Every structure is written in structure tokens, then in C-alpha cells.
Chain A
Amino acid sequence: MLKDITLGQFFPGDSVVHRLDPRVKMLMMVAYIVVVFLVKGFLGYLVLFAFLAGATLLSHIKPKFLLRSIKPILFIVVMTFVLNVLFTRGEKLLVEWGILHIYWEGVRFAVFMSLRLVFLLLGTSLLTLTTSPMALTDALERLLKPLKAIRFPVHEMAMMMTIALRFIPTLLEETDKIMKAQTARGADFDSGNLFARAKAMVPLLVPLFVGAFRRADELAMAMEARCYHGGGNRTRMKVLKVQRIDWYASGVMAGTLCLVLLERLL
């Protein structure tokens, strides 16, 4: 059952959005986040919405699927909304009930802040839905390459991410196996109070950790046997090249940015 867990939420496909250079997509993501924070009024959100809706349509990702990604932070969105409604002071009083004062400005601001969160999440989700974790790692390594000059271990970090991505399914499978083995011997993972349950995890975690260390040891040896010696002099099979559609996409992003800036000035 644990094996069914997919990593991240990548949704394989062959749309224009999928095919964009992951480096360009990542930079667009940064620009998008900046734009979200620049938006000043609802007109700005309208522009952002148009951008996001267009991108989603092109990606062939079902809107329902994209919206589902809000679920994990729904609580935070609601909290943000409620707190802002309750604690923002203004001039136009809407409701007065005991010590509760709800102002028109409060409602406005609450909607505004909640929308900001929602837009941030939808944008990043669209990126992870259309880009594999591996492509993201790869893009990150290439984009951060200049940081090597200040001795930031870019390659090592990317290698760690790759290995983590590679071994998470393997370790999950192993957890599943150990869990079944311990259950067969009478271990109980699902009942009792929190303390009892935490205690039941010990016979699960110990073999898992021991196994992980043994794996790490063997993997290091196998990597050395295949001439791995860090990032120096290393080449890559995949060459990333910025295509014409990447320029178009960047153009649209820049246009969105301009419109939102314009809205801010007006």
C-alpha cells in the first residue's frame, strides 16, 4: 500500500507547458511569486487569474486536479481569513456583536490575503504538476551553478536530492515489509495512546535505519566503482536548450508583470 504513494505530484504529459525548459519554468515561478506579492487590488488578481487559467488550459491538467492541491493548506487559508476579518479595524462598520466588530475594510483585506495564499499555491502546484522532480533538481543545479564561485556545494546538493528521490520508494517498500513482519509477530501499530504508538514504532525504525546505513555504504562503493568523483569534470547526457516557446512563455510572464505593475501605479 505504501508503494502507491507518488513522489511530489508530477502528472506526466506532453503539453506545451510540460515541454518548457525546466530552468525557464523555475525562473518564471520566481517571477510569478514576485507578481503575486505586487498585486494591489482585485484587478491585479484578475490579470493573474487570466495567466493561471491560460497556463492550466495549455497544460491539459484538469482544473479540479489543480484545485485539489489547496486542500492541505485550506485550514491556513481559513484561519488567515477569519483572523483578518476579526482584527482589522476600519471605518465602515458592518456588524457589531458584543466585542465583535467587523468592518468592510477587514472583509476586503481578508479576501485579499486569502487570495494571495491561494494564488501562490496554485502557481507552484502547476509547476510541480507539469515538471518531474528530477527535471526540477536538474534545473536547480544548472541555475545555481554560478554559486560554485562562492564554494556553495551546488552539485553535491543536487546529487543528494537525486539520491533521496531514487531511494524514497525503496525505503517505503522496506518500511512496508518490516511493518508486515512485525505485525505478523504481534506488533500493533494502530492502537493505544500516542505514547504507546510511538513506542511501537521503535522496532520499525531501528531496522529501517540500520538498513539505510548499509545501503548508503554499498551505494557509495558502487558509485566509486563507476568513477564518481564529485562534480568536477563531469558532463551531462541531457543538454538543455532554450527553445522558441520558452521565449514566448517568458514574454507572457513579462507581460503579466507589466500589467500588474501598471495596476499598482494607477
Chain B
Amino acid sequence: MEIIRASDVWYEYVNPDETGEMAVRGVSLSVRRGEWLSIIGHNGSGKSTLVKLLNGLYVPKRGSVTVDGIDTQDEERIWEVRQKVGMIFQNPDNQIVATVVEEDVAFGLENLGVEPAQIQPRVQKALEAVDMTRFATVAPHMLSGGQKQRVAIAGVLAMRPDVMLMDEPTAMLDPSGRREVMDTVERLHKEEGMTVVLITHFMEEALRGDRVIVMEKGKAVMEGKPREVFTQVEELKNIGLDVPPMTELAHRLRADGFPIAGEPMTVKEMVEELCRLKQGI
């Protein structure tokens, strides 16, 4: 079942950069309920612009985006769209509004006009889901980056969205914060069946998903399962993207004449494949 559909979407900023090109040029995609879609592409390829089109923060100049059948151009129902499609941004500091964690998680619900009696339990549950209950009454600036990002996720979860859009949520975090956030997202995806659209520069994060879209100059140039996309090493390199380290290693070993079979992507898979080769020799 599809939850978001974008058909031939174009978008141009009011003050475009020197190139004069549109930021998003004719992208079509659909997001299915319960899937994890990763979007990769290098700086300025239009990833952020694309996801902002998916929850109606921007409306397409041409083409259309529908969320659960609602057109994002429909101004009457825009709050319904934003409730269904939550969004997490890159900078944890610039998306927390309130001075206390629980107040911030409640912010979206207050905006939706939910009854006060219902807000408290929903906030509690959202904080539990990201394992931040202990910090309910703490001031946000006392938290680590990873914890702030989990608060932001709770703020979205409390609104009971169908989809969670994430624009490089781990780009400003240290490795432990990154793991903390990605594990939370993965758990929500696996256990609660949350639909995830994740923009990332980290290929190992994209590997966790069901599907990958590669953006280049405002267009979606590749699409497929992570394995299908990441094995096209030459194409990815041509558009200036990295591939996961093990894929890169396999590619180089093959170029040197080692018959690596299958597509090892994780260290574990690579070790198994190398052991198999060694025994064969």
C-alpha cells in the first residue's frame, strides 16, 4: 500500500543559485507503508528539497504530491498532511521549541488541538518509545546531541504519523550519538512498522533500508534494493559517491583477479567470503 506518491515533481527556489537550474527536476516516486527508503546523493543534489516537498513544506511548481490521497496543495488539509508525515531535521538544536523536554514533545499535539487529558499519556508513550522518560523534565540544552535528536523523534511520534522523514539526522552527532539514533529508528521501523524516509551521507545507514534512491542534479538517477544499487560501483563513483567500505574492497579484490562471489556488504559477510576463498585455494 502506498502512502506518499510524487509524480513528476519540479521545484525551484525563489532565489536560485548561480547554476540557474531547478533544485528538483521531474522526480517521481512512491513510498510504501512500512518500508524504509533511503535517499543518497552528494551536496546540492536536491535531497532536502525533495523531502520538504513530501510533507507540504514546499509545494511543487509542477507535478503533484499526494499523502494518503491528500494533495499537498490542498491548503485546507495541510495540517492533516503534516500530522501524517513527520519530519526530523539535521540540527538537533534548531528543532526543539520548548524549554522542557516533555513540553517540547507535547508541542505538535498542542498545535493539533488535542484535548489536554489525552496529551499527557501520548507524550509519556512517545518518550518511552525513544527511551527518554528519565529526561522528561530536563531542559533541552542539558542533553547530548543524540538525546536531543531522540527528543525530536518523540515529538514526531507523539503525533502518531504514518511516515517519518529524516534529513541527515545523524550528520551533527558523534559516533555514539549516531548509533543511539539509528538504533532507535531501526527499532521503531522493525517493531512498530514505522515507515521511514532517510536522507543520509553514511552508506552504512542506507544499507539498513529496504530501498535506495540516488539523487543527482535534482533527478532520481538510480533506484533499487541497497544491494542492487551499491554493487554498481562505477556508476556511483562517476557521480562522486562513496560505496560501503566492504563493497569497495570486494570491487578492488575482483579487479586484482580474486574471484569474490556474491555481494559481501558487511564485515561479517566479507570475512565469510574470504575464508571460503582461502579454503578453496
On A, residues with C-beta under 8 Å from B are 133-134, 162-163, 165-166, 169-170, 173, 215, 218-219, 221-229, 233-239
Instruction: Please report whether the interface of chain B is mostly helix, strand, loop or mixed according to DSSP.
Output: helix
> Distance (Å) between the CB of B165 and the closest chain A CB?
9
Instruction: Please report which residues of chain B, range 107-152, place their CB below 8 angstroms from some CB of chain A when the two chains form the complex.
Output: 107-116, 119-120, 123, 139-141
**What are 19 contact pairs spanning A and B, CB under 8 A?**
A163-B97, A169-B139, A221-B52, A222-B87, A222-B89, A224-B57, A224-B82, A225-B82, A226-B86, A226-B156, A228-B97, A234-B110, A234-B111, A235-B109, A235-B110, A235-B114, A235-B119, A236-B116, A237-B102
**Which B residues are CB-close (under 8 A) to A169?**
139, 141
B99 on the A face (CB < 8 A): yes
A219 adjacent to B95 (CB under 8 Å): yes
Instruction: Please report whether the interface of chain A is mostly helix, strand, loop or mixed according to DSSP.
Output: helix
B111 adjacent to A227 (CB under 8 Å): yes
Cβ-neighbour of B83 out of A221, A227, A234, A236 (below 8 A): A227
B97 adjacent to A235 (CB under 8 Å): no
B109 adjacent to A134 (CB under 8 Å): no
Seed contacts A224-B82, A234-B111; 4 additional CB < 8 Å A-B pairs: A166-B96, A173-B141, A227-B83, A234-B110
**Which B residues are CB-close (under 8 A) to A229?**
79, 111
On B, residues with C-beta under 8 Å from A are 52, 55, 57, 79, 82-83, 86-87, 89, 91, 93-100, 102-103, 106-116, 119-120, 123, 139-141, 155-156, 159
B95 adjacent to A222 (CB under 8 Å): yes
**Which A residues are CB-close (under 8 A) to B91?**
215, 218
Q: In the docked arrangement, what's the CA distance between A233 and B79, Å?
A: 12
Q: In the docked arrangement, what's the CA distance between A219 and B107, Å?
A: 13
A218 adjacent to B99 (CB under 8 Å): no
**Which B residues are CB-close (under 8 A) to A234?**
110-111, 113
Cβ-neighbour of A219 out of B79, B97, B100, B115 (below 8 A): B97
Task: Indicate whether A227 sits within 8 Å of B89 (C-beta atoms), given known contacts A237-B106, A237-B123.
Answer: no
Closest 7 CB pairs of A and B: A222-B95, A218-B94, A237-B106, A226-B108, A169-B141, A227-B111, A237-B119
B97 adjacent to A223 (CB under 8 Å): yes
Cβ-neighbour of B141 out of A133, A170, A235, A239 (below 8 A): A170
> Distance (Å) between the CB of A233 and the closest chain B CB?
5
- How many inter-chain residue pairs (CB < 8 Å) link A and B? 95
> Distance (Å) between the CB of B53 and the closest chain A CB?
12
B159 adjacent to A227 (CB under 8 Å): yes
> Distance (Å) between the CB of B199 and the closest chain A CB?
14
**Which B residues are CB-close (under 8 A) to A166?**
96-99, 140-141
Q: In the docked arrangement, what's the CA distance between A226 and B98, Å?
A: 13
Q: In the docked arrangement, what's the CA distance between A219 and B97, Å?
A: 8
A219 adjacent to B94 (CB under 8 Å): yes
- Minimum CB distance partner of A137 in chain B: B99
Q: In the docked arrangement, what's the CA distance between A166 and B138, Å?
A: 12
> Which of B57, B97, B100: most chain A Cβ within 10 A?
B97
Cβ-neighbour of B99 out of A134, A215, A223, A237 (below 8 A): A134
> Which of A173, A222, A228, A239: most chain B Cβ within 10 A?
A222
Q: In the docked arrangement, what's the CA distance between A162 and B96, Å?
A: 11
- Minimum CB distance partner of B102 in chain A: A237
B141 adjacent to A226 (CB under 8 Å): no
B57 adjacent to A221 (CB under 8 Å): yes
B95 adjacent to A218 (CB under 8 Å): yes
> Distance (Å) between the CB of B148 and the closest chain A CB?
10
Q: In the docked arrangement, what's the CA distance between A64 and B119, Å?
A: 41
- Minimum CB distance partner of A225 in chain B: B87
B116 adjacent to A237 (CB under 8 Å): yes
A226 adjacent to B120 (CB under 8 Å): no
A134 adjacent to B156 (CB under 8 Å): no
**Which A residues are CB-close (under 8 A) to B96?**
166
B106 adjacent to A227 (CB under 8 Å): no
**Which B residues are CB-close (under 8 A) to A228?**
97, 107, 111
